[in-house]
Copies of this chain bind each other. A is one copy, B any other.
Amino acid sequence: MLSKGTKDTLPQEWQELAQAAIEASKRAYVPYSNFQVGAALLDSTGNIHFGCNVENGAYSPSNCAERTALFRAIADGHKARSFKAIAVTGDTAEPITPCGVCRQVLSELCEPHMPVLLTNLKGDWQLTNMVELLPGAFSLIDERNMENT
């Protein structure tokens, strides 16, 4: 973990993105878990993309906040691995941690060292990245390059 802290010590440059993640979480569609999660993704032009979790009665088609933010930014024309930062939040005891599916998607669409801020509604925070969150990530691109060389 790169660094961590409580509400009073969140670096100034993260405050807008962390607040955006909280706002996004309020829009979650969570009739099954009642567990609201929000994400806010910063693109290379300085704009913020909101994401929330959207559940489904069949469970497996459910989507998490991080993925919603990433997919929508791609649909707005942003390129994979052009993003600058993401913040995620939820009502957890410790800073929320992304599920493995989201880690796989973050790993595909973001640079390995892009900063990832994990927070909770109390303001506890932890700064990390994909190298830490998905060590030795699977990448079909890497495998296919390998097979070609």
Residues 75-118 of A contacting B (Cβ, < 8 Å): 75-77, 80, 92-93, 96-105, 107-109
Asked if A93 and B146 make an inter-chain contact with CB atoms under 8 angstroms apart, the answer reads yes
In the complex, what distance in Å separates the CA atom of A146 from the CA atom of B94?
10
Residues of B with C-beta under 8 A to A137? 97, 100
**Identical chains bound together, number:** 4
| Residue count of chain A within 8 Å CB distance of chain B | 61
Q: Which 5 A-B pairs have the closest CB atoms?
A: A100-B104, A57-B140, A58-B99, A72-B72, A100-B100
The interface of chain A, by Cβ under 8 A from chain B, is 24, 27-29, 31-33, 35, 50-52, 54-65, 67-72, 74-77, 80, 92-93, 96-105, 107-109, 132-141, 143, 146
